[in-house]
A and B are shown apart, each in its own frame.
Chain A
Amino acid sequence: MSDGSRPMIALEAISKTYPGQSAPAVRELDLHVPAGAIVMMVGPSGCGKTTTLKMMNRLIEPTSGRILLDGEDVTAVGGDELRRRIGYVIQQVGLFPHFTVADNVAVVPRVLGWDRKRITARVDELLHLVGLEPGQFRDRYPRQLSGGQQQRVGVARGLAADPAVMLMDEPFGAIDPITRDRLQDEFLEIQRQVAKTICFVTHDLTEAVKLGDRIAVFGPGGVVEQYDTPEQVLTHPANDFVAEFVGSGAAVRRLSLLQLNRLELDEVTVDGVGATNGHPTYRADADGRAVAWAHLPGTGAGDLPPLVTVPLTGTVYDAVDVMLEARAPLVAVVDDEDRPKGALRWEALVRELPTKGRP
């Protein structure tokens, strides 16, 4: 987290009062978004999170306050020019139905006056990035795509002019849960490659926890109740409002924050190589991949559970999921080549999970 550096987006005492309303939708709000971070804006409906997002690119003009983009005061510059510098992704209704996929992605480059060759190259590059084969999808119309594919096109369009900042307004809101989960994973993968500064509105706390480097919890009356890392929001809610919003599922949600590579895992050994030293022992195939448990301390040879694995890049949540699914009291944590690096036992979960320093 680049807390010390200059924020990419800074809102300073920003307020919005809609005409004809006495109470402001957003009140005296300060928010600093660090460069390269994903900031998730969550909260109940009508708490001003979307209004705040739309003030960042001045789709909604603030009543008072200042907006700084990479240190530059953009409160008064031309709105259209500002928006061309900022990516914008919304639910899939935002695709133009009379434009092909390529034309949809090319909207901003075209407005910016890029030449045709450069636009074509950029469109193909972006379609590749979001996992849509250009030759197959370039000339399709949005209605010929699934919801998930439409959303990928939306992300590609937001990235088209390579903006430093992306604003995303519930982009995965209207997508079925399974596709949404996959899109979120792809989104994180894309973000690893493009490293944008992203503000992301969602009403789904699980999504916020999964994607966010930081979470801004909005409360009634358009104020930020807490602005902190997902772990802090879940473990140390700033006040009763946040505690209630985070809800009773916080302990389980926290599991999805903890990556397995940050845990001190139980050691495991390969069967037939030296002493077991009381460690779980597994049988491996020729490539070193785990096949089955050979010996577990305190378990008879006839009661050995199935050997299940979870990747080192997964979270404790994934490990729990795998264990519950297979009814196994432990799970082998494996690297990219499926070689066990350690094991996580069920009993360890209810104790303080031993963590290493950040990798």
Chain B
Amino acid sequence: MTAPTTTAPPAATGGVAGPPSRLWVTPVIVLVGLGLVFGYLATQTLDSVERRTINVETITTRLGEHLYLTALSTVVVIVLAIPLGIALSRPALRRVQPAVLAISGFLQALPPFGVIILIAFTPLGLGATTAIVALVLASFLPVVTNTVVGLRQVDRAMIEAARGVGMSAAQTLRQVELPLAVPVMVAGVRVALVLNVGTATLATYIGAGGLGTIIDGSLRLGRPTAVLVAASLVAALALIIDWLAGVAEHLVGRRGG
């Protein structure tokens, strides 16, 4: 039981992303970092190949694709993994819980790069759908695990108290178990988001676009400046998304007991 939980370290924090006074740290780091990169860029003279990559239009398009892949895959993960996690924590299905968590852990152990390429050989073929399937497989585990763990750590006595005063099983789940599990569940979604931002960089290899396209193309053409810009954007994006999720985590963590 302990093995799957360790793959999602933020679960251990129980969902409090540090005191609010430190919430400004990440945005400052991101802004300073991007400032340095673009400051450096301003001192460089770009050749025609670089100008074709490093311009507002291309970057916006690739960034949009990247965000689309990340957002859609995360939504799919939430829609599939949270109900599965809830179902697994019901008494009727609790017996298959270890097996499902093991399979989900196995999926996550597969390198996403390999999975993306392999799925491209299935009837799904190349494109965004394939990329999203691969991203979903890669980030499924933290959400399932944290849903299960979050629900499991709700005090049994509290659930029994809810049933004891006459709440139905569904009311107990909705009003007591889920609200108390939300901080841990949000921590799982945060891990999934960050995984997806990173892994979406690989989507370019099956023609699904994203910021990886700029990195890969510029590497091939030997344009390190363009690689630097695109890679910094991926890093900044991952940090900002993690920060936003952290803020959300902090807000839901503060409400619970």
Assess the A80–B255 pair: CB atoms within 8 A: no
Assess the B257–A157 pair: CB atoms within 8 A: no
Binds A, one of B94-102, B132-140, B157-165: B157-165
Assess the B166–A93 pair: CB atoms within 8 A: no
* Contact-residue bracket for chain A: 20 to 34
Assess the B165–A97 pair: CB atoms within 8 A: no
Contact residues, B9-62 vs A (CB, 8 A): none
Which of B160, B171, B180 lies in contact with A97, CB distance below 8 A?
B180
Assess the B161–A90 pair: CB atoms within 8 A: yes
Contacts of B164 in A (CB 8 A): 54, 57, 59, 83, 88, 90, 94, 167
Contacts of A86 in B (CB 8 A): 166
Tell whether A107 is near chain B: CB-to-CB under 8 Å.
yes
Tell me how far the C-beta of B216 lies from the nearest C-beta in chain A, rounded to whole angstroms: 47
Tell whether A111 is near chain B: CB-to-CB under 8 Å.
yes
Residues of B contacting A: mostly: helix
Tell whether A108 is near chain B: CB-to-CB under 8 Å.
yes
Contacts of A167 in B (CB 8 A): 164
Which of B163, B180, B257 lies in contact with A141, CB distance below 8 A?
B257
Assess the B157–A143 pair: CB atoms within 8 A: no
Assess the A98–B166 pair: CB atoms within 8 A: no
| In the complex, residue of chain B having the shortest beta-carbon distance to the beta carbon of A82 | B166
| In the complex, residue of chain B having the shortest beta-carbon distance to the beta carbon of A158 | B165
Tell whether B168 is near chain A: CB-to-CB under 8 Å.
yes
B143-174 vs A: 1/0 string, CB under 8 Å? 00000000000010110111111111001000
Which of A59, A111, A143, A157 lies in contact with B160, CB distance below 8 A?
A59
Which of A80, A90, A98 lies in contact with B157, CB distance below 8 A?
A90
Known A-B contacts A90-B161, A96-B158, A97-B256; A80 and B180 likewise in contact (beta carbons under 8 Å): no
Contacts of A141 in B (CB 8 A): 257
Residues of A bordering B, CB below 8 Å: 54, 57, 59, 80-81, 83-88, 90-91, 93-98, 107-108, 111, 141-143, 157-158, 167
- Interface contacts beyond A85-B166, A88-B166: sample of 12 additional A-B pairs, CB < 8 Å, sorted by A: A80-B166, A80-B167, A81-B166, A84-B165, A86-B166, A93-B157, A94-B160, A94-B164, A96-B176, A97-B257, A107-B162, A111-B167
State the 3 A-B residue pairs at the shortest beta-carbon distance, nearest first. Answer: A97-B257, A94-B161, A84-B166
Of the A-B pairs whose beta carbons lie under 8 Å apart in the complex, a sample of 16, sorted by A's number, is A54-B164, A59-B163, A80-B163, A80-B168, A81-B166, A88-B166, A90-B157, A96-B162, A97-B180, A98-B179, A98-B180, A98-B256, A98-B257, A111-B167, A141-B257, A158-B165
